[in-house]
């Protein structure tokens, strides 16, 4: 058995080929699923989503910042407010529209070990870069990343590998708030609140972002189907991850993320 992680997916919002590809290449089954078996696993979820009534999507109610969180929120805004971070909002994440149709529960379990310090967990101010393990194979320099949230850039003539900002955020799209980042932290938070007696409706602070995730940008042609789903009459909501009729528990193949730098010969223009 290859290394795996426990995960939940929302297959009903995937297209047939997308679901088959995801189940076969990103999940582990013994024996491996055939195309017909993967389709048979996906189809009932698709039917349930198609049978949902139209959803009246309203922006989540914004609640006052709790006194215990006000200092950290102020520190976060002093550090991060700018072109991307517009504000900090206190909302129920269950009401957010989602574009990512999976949550790795094993990763969420790690975020739950925070002693209830949710404001600091959601609004990370400093995410220091760490020394990345590297090696050379076949004249290719390879850097092993701790997770996928990294990018490459050239600044002042230097090549840099940087982590993305570490805060949870939502962004507005056609009058709806979409969870942009922080799916695993939101899942850990909601689950923790549900396990607390008399917790009531969960609410937590997160950043309000100015820009949508790249997967939803209208300028990219391959985003059109996903945008249509998110802006449609039955978009997936974060609350759907807690609906056993809409979620499928799977063993996700554990991935390793690397950046490869090599030299190639190209013709002069």
Residue 207, H or E segment: strand 204-209
Among the ranges given (37-51, 69-83, 185-199, 245-259), the one the predictor scored with the smallest mean pLDDT: 185-199
Instruction: Name the residue with higher pLDDT: 83 or 221.
Output: 83
Residue (of 101, 231, 242) closest to 174 by Cα position: 231
Q: Is residue 80 part of a domain?
A: yes
Query: What are the CA-CA distances from residue 251 to residues 24, 29, 53, 248 (Å)?
Result: 11, 8, 30, 10
pLDDT in tens, 244-255: 999 999 999 998
State what percent of residues in the chain have pLDDT above 90: 72
State what percent of residues in the chain have pLDDT above 70: 98
Query: 3-class SS at 262?
Result: coil
Q: What is the mean pLDDT of residues 92-111?
A: 96
Instruction: Name the residue with higher pLDDT: 128 or 124.
Output: 124
Q: What is the pLDDT of residue 199?
A: 64
Q: What is the pLDDT of residue 117?
A: 93
**pLDDT of 234 higher than 80:** yes
**pLDDT of 200 higher than 70:** no
Q: Is residue 252 part of a domain?
A: no
Average of per-residue pLDDT values in the chain? 92
Q: Is the peptide bond before 249 cis (omega within 30 degrees of 0)?
A: no
Instruction: Name the residue with higher pLDDT: 27 or 128.
Output: 27
Q: Is residue 9 part of a domain?
A: no
Q: What is the pLDDT of residue 179?
A: 98
Residue 231 pLDDT class (50, 70, 90 cuts): very high
As a residue count, the chain comes to 269
Q: Is residue 200 part of a domain?
A: yes
Q: What is the pLDDT of residue 115?
A: 85
Instruction: Name the residue with higher pLDDT: 151 or 198.
Output: 151
| Bridge partner list, 158 | 155
Q: Is residue 269 part of a domain?
A: no
- Residue 143 is part of which domain span? 67-234
Residue 202 pLDDT class (50, 70, 90 cuts): confident
pLDDT in tens, 141-193: 999 887 777 778 888 888 888 777 789 999 999 999 999 999 999 999 999 99
Residue 67 pLDDT class (50, 70, 90 cuts): very high
Q: How many domains does the chain have?
A: 1
Q: Is residue 45 part of a domain?
A: no
**pLDDT of 198 higher than 70:** no
Residue environment code for 160-183, b if the CB has 16+ CB neighbours within 10 A, otherwise e: eeeeebbbbbbbebeebbbbbbbb
Q: Is residue 73 part of a domain?
A: yes
Q: Is residue 23 part of a domain?
A: no
Query: What are the CA-CA distances from residue 118 to residues 85, 205, 208 (Å)?
Result: 19, 8, 16
């Amino acid at each position: 058995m290859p290394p795996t992680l426990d995960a939940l997916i929302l297959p009903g919002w995937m297209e047939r080929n997308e679901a088959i590809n995801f189940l076969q290449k990103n999940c582990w089954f013994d024996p491996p699923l055939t195309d017909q078996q993967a389709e048979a696993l996906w189809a009932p979820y698709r039917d349930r989503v198609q049978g949902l009534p139209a959803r009246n999507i309203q922006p989540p109610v914004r609640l006052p910042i709790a006194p215990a969180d006000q200092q950290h929120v102020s520190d976060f805004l002093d550090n991060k407010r700018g072109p991307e971070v517009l504000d900090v909002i206190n909302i129920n994440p269950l009401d957010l529209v989602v574009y990512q149709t999976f949550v790795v529960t094993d990763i969420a379990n790690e975020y739950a070990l925070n002693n209830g310090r949710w404001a600091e967990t959601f609004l990370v101010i400093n995410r220091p870069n760490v020394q990345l393990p590297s090696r050379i194979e076949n004249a290719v320099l390879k850097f092993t990343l701790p997770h996928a949230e990294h990018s490459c850039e050239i600044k002042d003539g230097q090549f840099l590998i940087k982590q993305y900002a570490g805060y949870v955020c939502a962004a507005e799209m056609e009058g709806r708030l979409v969870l942009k980042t922080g799916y695993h932290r939101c899942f850990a938070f909601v689950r923790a609140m549900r396990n607390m007696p008399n917790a009531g409706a969960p609410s937590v602070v997160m950043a309000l972002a100015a820009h949508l995730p790249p997967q939803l940008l209208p300028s990219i042609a391959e985003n059109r189907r996903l945008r249509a789903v998110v802006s449609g009459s039955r978009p997936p909501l974060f609350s759907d991850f807690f609906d056993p009729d809409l979620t499928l528990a799977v063993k996700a193949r554990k991935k390793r993320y690397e950046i490869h730098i090599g030299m190639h010969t190209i013709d002069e223009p």
